Amino acid sequence: MNAYLKALRLPFTAGSVVPVLIGAALAFSEGVWDGGLLGITVLGVACLHLGANLLNDYYDAKGSDPINVRVTPFSGGSRVIQQGKVKAGAVLAMAIAFFLLAALCAVWLVKEGRPLVILLGGIGLLAGWAYSAPPLQLMSRGWGEVVIFLAFGPLVTLGSYYVMANSLSFEAFCIGIPQGFLISAVIWINQFPDYEADKGAGKKNLVVRLGPSKARYLFIMIMILSYVSVGLLAGVFTEVYLIMISFASLPLAVRAMVVLWKHYASHEQIIPAQAATIQVMTIHGLLVTLGLVLSRWF
């Protein structure tokens, strides 16, 4: 049972659940709230994410994971297939099962009068499949980071807001941009330890294409853009200016940037930067959520 739980990589679901909360908090700031709908949305999005995690493990087991000797607690996959604890076919079956659960959540929401969930959820499912699975395998073509940015940022906040408010909103799309940058930063920094294996397996993500030395500049830029975008959003959508409290996470972000800059070539010394990046993504997103909630009254 522990091996199957490990295969899920549950802690990473923060990357999808937090933007759901952000979208719902925006609706709450406008006086709209439904706890039941939010619960179904969280479950559905989390199932999509877990299915994508499993699908990624399944296809990486045929590519970079078997030759990856620079594994960290945050990169290199769950390793359950490589360790012989779970068969590859079982991992694929689990991925399909979670995608089906997500589909059931979507059907539930459609019955609650949210028909566009089929479109938005379908895009999310397509993104999860296209990221890892052939023939597209966008993770190997330098487009994976863009897909992750959209699928775990603006698309989720827009979808969550839609479920709450039963309407689409440009603001709901934009409010997910900072989180999109941060989940991209998590993917980006996790590609540094995997560089040699990804290169050997022909997995040409942007870190492989640029090389680790140059790629660290892009990591710094992505992290900075996550905060710049918050400032721009607070300026454009002035009624949610309290999202600026997310800047409280900036010292931790600076720590991640400094550690990566110094130790980008060491898969062991980069681990604190990986952990800090995930923490920034989560804390920053929760602070944005809090700022939106408080905006209802201030």
pLDDT in tens, 158-179: 999 999 999 999 999 999 999 9
Domain count, the chain: 1
Q: How far apart are CA 174 and CA 180, in angstroms?
A: 10
The one-letter code for the residue type at 226 is S
Residue 150 has pLDDT above 80, yes or no: yes
Share of the chain above pLDDT 90, in %: 77
Q: Domain span at residue 284?
A: 2-294
Question: pTM for the complete prediction?
Answer: 0.95
Q: Which residue has the tokens 């454009």?
A: 236
CATH number, domain containing residue 90: 1.10.600
Q: 31 pLDDT band (50/70/90 cuts)?
A: very high
Q: 81 pLDDT band (50/70/90 cuts)?
A: confident
Q: Are 48 and 121 in contact (CB under 8 A)?
A: yes
Q: Largest alpha-carbon pair distance within the chain?
A: 55
Q: How far apart are CA 214 and CA 4, in angstroms?
A: 37
Residue 63 has pLDDT above 80, yes or no: no
